[in-house]
């Protein structure tokens, strides 16, 4: 099984260090965060996950001082920022919340350019940065630059929220349930897009969620928290799933831990299955020949750029009657990209005709397919490799406080 | 009683005879209301900005400015007369006081209606308190604030007519002259001139506000 890149290349230098952090709200019997010590290594996604009310949001908001800690220290990139000017500090930290909070009276370009403008960048530089970020999140600048938030879908708003947080190229991003309010299908897509983006930008990210599946998918490391922001286990997703520290963790992971492990490997990590293909200009007879020469029930029609167009069965081809291949059969419904997890692929292929997920690269070019055999191979391989991956050894050295003794 | 058509023609003739005075008084009326509205808008928005975050403060300000409106205008003009004398001053002051409540109330409401997530994201991006207020909260609340200013304008256009009692400027003169000549042939024409003038001025102000709303409200908020 192949590791995700961030896990093998992230340095273990702590970018954020929380030291004995405590927050006691007035008139509350117990502190929301009690004596939390945690290191967040540079370039990694650390997920804070735990039941509602355990103190995740409070912990995160102390990092950018939206909430002032009662005691303890916050060290950012080696510098104690516990007493720093909060506004200056926040301009160095990207911030994404569940409700996104786009400014409704400002255009998409103005929203994304907020921090650069506050930092005094000149107009040309801001415009160039905005366009670059819109490209990055897959929204055509010419189309979206001058639109207003109300004209965007939920998924697009979320993308813009992420772009806005990245605008001044902060080293650190804080994300509080960023995909929490989005429908499951869009959420999945946004998660994948975000992981792809992160593999390029390599930010240090603190990511809050209450959803263990999301934690496993997004996290290079996961801190499982209970009330008072107590760290029960701080570990890689593999270790959390294969060696839960205690009953609280195993309960929190819940049933189906081995199925959850499908979240740990990605389509690009496994060998794809092949299917017969023909060009879109081929005749039905040619396609039929290709199909019969294979042992599969369907042939995939590719366009001139190599992108999948239709799946055709033998019956479709026999009824072709001279019509072009692209007007027959079924369009590929279950299309996944290489960074999708096997769990994504499984979900897709279950619902798809012929029970296969079609894999395409970023440009939409056909790569192969994932079928149920590949998934079971992967599950079998994971059982064989149930033990800790080598690179997690360093993680435990970085753990302080409660988890260290866990 | 004449037939209606002749009445209207008589009235128009009456206005035409006094067209210069009518125009003069109308302009005075517009200027008077514009000055008072500008003052209550500035003061009202400021009071709203200063108090909206504190429940006690905003309740107090709304109660106080609300109390102003319960003072009969006639009484307030006369009261102020004793302090600032005759003419424009007492009228502008009284009108400003009457205009405050709708502005303050709508400013507070508008600011409180801004989605807290928007304010928090602005804070998280490092916008200072002042930047958040002036660049984010106030522009988003603006359509509601502007509605408050518009309501206060409608109220003031009417009340301004009564300012003539302390020798203030404006269309009120026609009405009070008419009152002084009750039962003479010109009385009704005079009062009618005042009323029609006030209605036209109100319509003009409303048109200005419609335009102002279009020009000053972000397309993203419509
Ligand atoms: N502003 C506040 N005042 C008082 N108590 C709060 C406040 N914010 C959060 N809490 C309490 O602190 C605890 C942790 O809250 P929070 O950090 O929001 O948890 P989570 O994000 O994990 O759901 C909860 O018990 C919550 O009720
Ligand atoms: Mg929370």
Quick: pLDDT tens for A214-229: 999 999 999 999 999 9
Subunit contact B126:A89, Cβ cutoff 8 A: yes
pLDDT digits (tens, 9 = 90+) for A218-266: 999 999 999 999 999 999 998 898 889 999 999 998 866 667 778 888 8
Question: To test ligand 1's pocket by mutation, which of A30, A36, A53, A99 has the most ligand atoms within 8 angstroms of CB?
Answer: A53
Fold of A269-382: CBS-domain (3.10.580)
d(CA B201, CA B212): 16
Close Cβ partners of A5 (under 8 Å, ≥ 6 residues apart):
A199
Residue B136 contacts A where some CB pair is shorter than 8 Å = yes
| Per-residue confidence (pLDDT) for residue A7, from 0 to 100 | 44
Residue B128 contacts A where some CB pair is shorter than 8 Å = yes
**Cα angle, residue A216 at apex, residues A179 and A62 outer, rounded to 5°:** 60
How would you label A295-312 residue by residue, b for 16+ Cβ within 10 Å and e otherwise?
Answer: ebebbbbbbeeebbbbbb
Residue B137 predicted with pLDDT over 60: yes
Distance of CA A169 to the CA centre of its chain: 19
What kind and span of H or E run contains B200?
Answer: helix B185-216
Mean pLDDT of A156-164: 96
Chain B CB contacts of A103 under 8 Å are 118, 122, 136, 140
Structurally, what CATH architecture does the domain formed by B22-221 represent? Orthogonal Bundle (1.10)
d(CA B156, CA B97): 10
Percentage of residues of chain B with pLDDT beyond 90: 84
Q: Which of A320, A278, A283, A285 is nearest to A303 (CA)?
A: A278
Residue B120 contacts A where some CB pair is shorter than 8 Å = yes
Of A100, A149, A174, the CB nearest to B220: A149
Q: Which of A304, A302, A275, A305 is nearest to A290 (CA)?
A: A275
Q: Which two tokens stand for residue B178?
A: 């008419």
**A49 phi and psi, to 5 degrees?**
-130, 145
Q: How many CB pairs under 8 A join A and B?
A: 74
| Per-residue confidence (pLDDT) for residue B168, from 0 to 100 | 87
> Nearest-CA distance from B214 to chain A in Å?
13
Mean pLDDT of A54-80: 96
Distance A56 CA to ligand 2 centre (A): 6
Q: How far apart are the first and last CA of chain A?
A: 27
Distance A102 CA to ligand 1 centre (A): 24
Of A33-42, A343-352, B8-17, B128-137, least confident by mean pLDDT is A343-352
Ordered by start, the domain boundaries in chain B are 22-221
Q: Which two tokens stand for residue A84?
A: 């720093």
> Nearest-CA distance from A146 to chain B in Å?
10
pLDDT digits (tens, 9 = 90+) for A347-395: 888 878 778 899 999 889 999 999 888 888 887 777 655 433 433 333 3
pTM comes to 0.79
Q: Edge-to-edge strand order for the sheet containing A230-235?
A: A93-97, A172-176, A204-209, A45-49, A221-226, A230-235
Mean pLDDT of B84-89: 90
> Nearest-CA distance from A237 to chain B in Å?
29
Of A273-277, A319-323, B98-102, B151-155, least confident by mean pLDDT is A319-323
Residue A398 predicted with pLDDT over 70: no
pLDDT band at A396 (very low <50, low <70, confident <90, very high): very low
Residue A402 predicted with pLDDT over 50: no
Q: Which ligand sits closest to the CA of A49?
A: 1
Percentage of residues of chain A with pLDDT beyond 70: 90
Close Cβ partners of B52 (under 8 Å, ≥ 6 residues apart):
B58, B107, B108, B111, B112
pLDDT band at B47 (very low <50, low <70, confident <90, very high): very high
Q: Which atom of ligand 1 is nearest to the CA of A60?
A: 17
Of B120, B220, B221, the CB nearest to A66: B120
Q: Which atom of ligand 1 is nearest to the CA of A26?
A: 4
Residue B121 contacts A where some CB pair is shorter than 8 Å = yes
CATH of domain A14-263+392-396: 3.40.50.300
A78 exposure class (CB count in 10 Å sphere: 0-12, 13-18, 19+): exposed
pLDDT digits (tens, 9 = 90+) for A284-306: 899 999 999 988 889 999 999 99
Residue A401 predicted with pLDDT over 50: no
Residue A91 contacts B where some CB pair is shorter than 8 Å = yes
Ordered by start, the domain boundaries in chain A are 14-263+392-396, 269-382
Residue A399 predicted with pLDDT over 50: no
């Amino acid at each position: 099984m192949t590791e995700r890149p961030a896990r093998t290349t992230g340095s273990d230098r702590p970018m954020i260090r929380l030291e004995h952090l405590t927050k006691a709200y007035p008139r509350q019997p117990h502190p929301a965060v009690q004596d939390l010590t945690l290191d967040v290594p540079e370039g990694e996604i650390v997920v804070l996950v735990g039941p509602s009310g355990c103190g995740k949001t409070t912990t995160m908001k102390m990092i950018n001082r939206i909430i002032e800690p009662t005691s303890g220290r916050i060290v950012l990139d080696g510098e104690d920022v516990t007493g720093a000017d909060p506004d200056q500090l926040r301009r160095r930290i990207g911030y994404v919340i569940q409700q996104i909070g786009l400014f409704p009276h400002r255009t998409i370009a103005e929203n994304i350019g907020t921090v650069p403008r506050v930092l005094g960048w000149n107009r040309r530089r801001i415009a160039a940065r905005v366009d670059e970020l819109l490209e990055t999140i897959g929204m055509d600048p010419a189309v979206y630059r001058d639109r207003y938030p109300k004209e965007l879908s939920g998924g697009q708003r979320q993308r813009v929220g992420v772009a806005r947080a990245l605008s001044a190229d902060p080293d650190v991003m804080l994300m509080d349930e960023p995909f929490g309010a989005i429908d499951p299908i869009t959420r999945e897509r946004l998660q994948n897009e975000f992981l792809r983006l992160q593999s390029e930008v390599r930010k240090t990210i603190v990511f809050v969620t209450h959803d263990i599946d999301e934690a496993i998918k997004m996290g290079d490391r996961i801190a499982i928290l209970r009330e008072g922001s107590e760290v029960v286990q701080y570990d890689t997703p593999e270790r959390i799933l294969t060696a839960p520290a205690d009953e609280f963790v195993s309960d929190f992971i819940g049933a189906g831990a081995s199925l959850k492990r499908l979240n740990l490997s990605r389509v690009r990590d496994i060998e794809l299955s092949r299917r017969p293909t023909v060009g879109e200009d081929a005749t039905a007879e040619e396609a039929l020949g290709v199909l019969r020469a294979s042992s599969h029930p369907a042939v995939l029609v590719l366009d001139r750029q190599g992108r999948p167009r239709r799946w055709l069965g033998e019956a479709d081809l026999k009824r072709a009657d001279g019509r072009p291949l692209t007007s027959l059969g079924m369009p590929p419904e279950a299309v996944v990209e290489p960074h999708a997890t096997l769990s994504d692929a499984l979900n897709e292929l279950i619902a798809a005709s012929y029970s296969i997920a079609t894999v395409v690269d970023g440009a939409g070019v056909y790569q192969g397919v994932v079928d149920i055999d590949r998934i079971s191979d992967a599950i079998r391989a994971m059982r064989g490799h149930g033990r800790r991956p080598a690179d997690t050894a360093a993680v435990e050295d970085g753990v302080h406080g409660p988890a260290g003794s866990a | 009683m004449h037939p209606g058509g002749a009445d209207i023609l008589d009235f128009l003739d009456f206005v035409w005879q006094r067209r210069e005075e009518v125009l003069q008084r109308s302009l005075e009326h517009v200027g008077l209301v514009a000055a008072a509205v500008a003052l209550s808008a500035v003061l009202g928005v400021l009071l709203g900005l200063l108090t909206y975050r504190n429940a006690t403060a905003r309740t107090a300000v709304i109660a106080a400015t609300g109390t102003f409106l319960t003072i009969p205008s006639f009484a307030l003009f006369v009261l102020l007369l004793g302090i600032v004398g005759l003419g424009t001053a007492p009228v502008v002051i009284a009108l400003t006081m009457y205009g405050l409540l709708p502005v303050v109330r709508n400013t507070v409401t508008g600011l409180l209606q801004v989605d807290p997530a928007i304010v928090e994201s602005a804070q998280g991006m490092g916008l200072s308190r002042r930047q958040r207020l002036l660049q984010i909260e106030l522009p988003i609340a603006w359509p509601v604030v502007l509605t408050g200013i518009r309501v206060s304008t409608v109220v003031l256009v009417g009340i301004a007519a009564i300012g003539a009692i302390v020798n203030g400027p404006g269309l009120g003169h026609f009405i009070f002259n008419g009152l002084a000549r009750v039962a003479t042939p010109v009385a009704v024409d005079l009062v009618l001139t005042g009323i029609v003038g006030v209605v036209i001025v109100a319509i003009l102000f409303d048109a200005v506000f419609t335009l102002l709303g279009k020009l000053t409200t972000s397309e993203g908020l419509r």
